[in-house]
Amino acid sequence: MRFPRVLAAGLLVLAATACGSSEADSGSGTLRIGVIGAGAGNKLTRAVGFLDQRGGLLPELRAAGITKIKVATFPNGPDLNQALAGGSLDIGQYGDTPALIGRGQGLPTRLLSLNSVRLDAAIVAGKDGGPASLKDLEGKRIGVQTGSYIHRYLLGALEQAGVRPKEIIHMYTPAIIAALEKNSIDAGGLVSADQVAQEQKGFTSIDIASRDHPDLLGTSVTVVTEKYLAGHKDIVRVWQKAETEAARAAKADWPGYTAYVARTGGYAADISIKTTLKDQLPDEPFPAEGLKLLEGTKAFLVQQALVKKDYTLDSWLAPGARP
């Protein structure tokens, strides 16, 4: 089943952009990293951000000649893809869906790792008299950050329920929350932390990925541009080791890590404690469960024609990323 077209602003369209550069181009010792976030303010997030704020990331990366990190924060994966396409980033950490779509549209990236797995999301409806189930979304208006793993979950859940909405609208999270409060949309797709925050205000979750569609849980990937990789072949081994060390550091100080997630994400501490789980941080670059989720996401995106030409995950891997 194909779904109504969403607003073009939310879809990834890779135009021919100049391979721009800055003082932080290959060879300068500066690694330019793009991440997704709202409250982070051009700072690393997740486990590598936790390791960095403890002073442990750069020492790990020096083995690849990296002496400085420059971080750019983006509201959504397609925006990060545009920066990768324009040449202003070397590495991106973001959801599986925009990364897969980007590669399918010719974005010259290679996969370094799955830095997070089992990422949860939910479909949230209004407080009073709104939809009570997925079936109630037939012919309704739904807001979601299109091109995100939340979007892929939403489409998959609707397809499995045989539901065809009237409109799927590209909206960033703050706009979704505002629209739900004004009843200008019938439901919205949100990550688990925002879902819990809205439930505390009286909103209803009519579908939760971990509870109702565990096959639609998301992953977060780390990709490197082919241009950067060509001049820094050690980055594969060095970055994977750094991510593994970051996951270990987070699990060894879980209260400190959940407090860090709350601070960088802008959530209340109790929300981060409830929605940040140890099993989301893998102990290896390519856990089997994560690869299964990634393969399923890619197959769905091909079916929906969001990935125009299929490809194998092996062809996307950075050389030496998986022995």
Q: What would the two tokens of residue 273 be?
A: 């404690």
Alpha-carbon Rg of the chain, whole angstroms? 19
What are the tokens at 108? 């010259």
pLDDT tens for 40-96 read: 578 899 999 999 999 999 999 999 999 999 999 998 999 999 999 999 999 999 999
Q: Is the pLDDT of residue 23 over 60?
A: no
Sign of CA dihedral 43, 46, 50, 55: negative
Q: What is the largest CA-CA distance in the chain?
A: 59
pLDDT given for residue 187 in this prediction: 98
- What is the token pair recorded at 177? 């929350």
Alpha-carbon distance of 155 to 164, in angstroms, equals 9
Q: Which amino acid is at 55?
A: G
Q: What is the pLDDT of residues 111-148, one digit of tens each?
A: 999 999 999 999 999 887 789 999 999 999 999 999 99
The pLDDT value recorded for residue 15 is 45
> What CATH number belongs to 121-212?
3.40.190.10
CA distance 55 to 51: 6
Q: What is the pTM of this model?
A: 0.90
Which residues, including other chains, have CB under 8 Å from residue 303's CB and lie 6 or more apart? Answer: none
pLDDT at 6 over 70: no
Q: What does the pLDDT read at residue 127?
A: 81
Q: Is the dihedral of CA 299, 121, 214, 224 positive or negative?
A: positive
Q: Is the pLDDT of residue 18 over 60?
A: no
Burial of 23 (0-12, 13-18, 19+ CB in 10 A): exposed
The C-alpha atoms of residue 249 and residue 251 are separated, in whole angstroms, by 6
Task: Read off the pLDDT of residues 141-170 as tens digits, 9 standing for 90 and up.
Answer: 999 999 999 999 999 999 999 999 999 999
Label residue 13 by pLDDT band (50, 70, 90): very low
Contact by Cβ (8 Å): 77, 14: no
pLDDT at 39: 57
- Determine the average pLDDT of the residues in 95-102: 96
- Condensed to tens digits (0 to 9), the pLDDT of residues 214-271 reads 999 999 999 999 999 999 999 999 999 999 999 999 999 999 999 999 998 889 999 9
Does the structure show a pLDDT above 90 at 27?
A: no
Instruction: Give the start-to-end residue ranges of the domains of the chain.
Output: 30-119+219-316, 121-212
CATH topology of domain 30-119+219-316: D-Maltodextrin-Binding Protein; domain 2 (3.40.190)
Q: Do domains 30-119+219-316 and 121-212 have the same CATH topology?
A: yes
So what's the pLDDT on residue 14? Answer: 52
Taking phi over 0 as left and psi of -120 to 50 as alpha, with beta for the rest, 9 belongs to alpha
Give me the residue label for tokens 């797995």.
117
From residue 247, give the alpha-carbon distance in Å to each of 32, 177, 183, 217, 280. Answer: 21, 31, 40, 20, 10
HSE, CB side, 13 Å, CA atoms: give it for residue 284: 9
